[in-house]
Amino acid sequence: MEAQHNEAALAGPAPRLDLSLAGPETTWLRAYFDAVRRAQKRTDLALRVAVEVEIVRPDGWVAFPADLGELEAISISLAGVPLPAGLTPPERVRGLIRAGELRASEVTELVVDATVNAVERGSRYAPTQLARPLGVLAALGIDEAELDEHAIRRLVDACRTARVVVEVSEAWRTPSLRLARALAAAGVPLVAASDTADASQLGRWRYVRAVQGVVDWVSGGTPR
């Protein structure tokens, strides 16, 4: 895609996902659905009803809300490490690594396995985007460069096979340039994501443009 087309895809009017984190205990979905439907009548933007859901188990189980009926898209993310005992915050996992109860290599394998499994599982239910891929590794103090090419290829292949769109996060600076190159080379669609709650930061693309500079941008997702 030519550079000017990339600029238009990122900066011009485009469909957007209206995303909020949801789970099995979420009680506000009906009000949320209604609010988005009302907004659709008052804007020229093409709005879709979507939520962000977390990966919570090593097998890729995603904490879906009870009612998926009106969702038009989902964005899946991993904010902790899905240990057998449950989803564990990064700071707790760092402590386990320091204490010798876990090895960093075991943790990275868990993160990759859970993400791959979630991509395959989530895409069965709704059009799916992968948010902040492997971003939890930075929170764990683990350099993504420690991942071998086989792990990167597994994730890329899963995204391509499941037709999942990958979000390029401005705030989290994910995926890494290495992973972004591999995704783009495999034809996986990439889409800009601000990941900010500050309206003044919307559309201020710095990391996203850095990614554009090193990959052939593959359009097809929904900027948010």
Q: Show the domains of the chain with their CATH numbers.
A: 3-214 (3.20.20.140)
The enclosing H or E element of 137 equals: helix 136-139
Percentage of the chain beyond pLDDT 90 is: 56
Q: What sections of the chain are H helices per DSSP?
A: 3-11, 29-40, 90-98, 104-122, 136-139, 149-162, 177-185, 207-214
Q: pLDDT tens digit string along 140-169?
A: 999 999 999 999 999 999 999 999 999 999
pLDDT (mean) for 206-213: 90
CB 13 within 8 A of CB 46: no
Per-residue confidence (pLDDT) for residue 186, from 0 to 100? 94
What tokens were used for 203?
């559309």
- For the cut 80, the answer to whether the pLDDT of residue 218 exceeds it is no
Q: pLDDT tens digit string along 116-147?
A: 999 999 898 889 999 999 999 999 999 999 99
What tokens were used for 207?
């990391």
- For the cut 80, the answer to whether the pLDDT of residue 219 exceeds it is no
Q: Cα(78)–Cα(191) distance, rounded to whole angstroms?
A: 18
Q: pLDDT tens digit string along 79-110?
A: 999 998 999 999 999 999 999 999 999 999 99
pLDDT (mean) for 9-30: 52
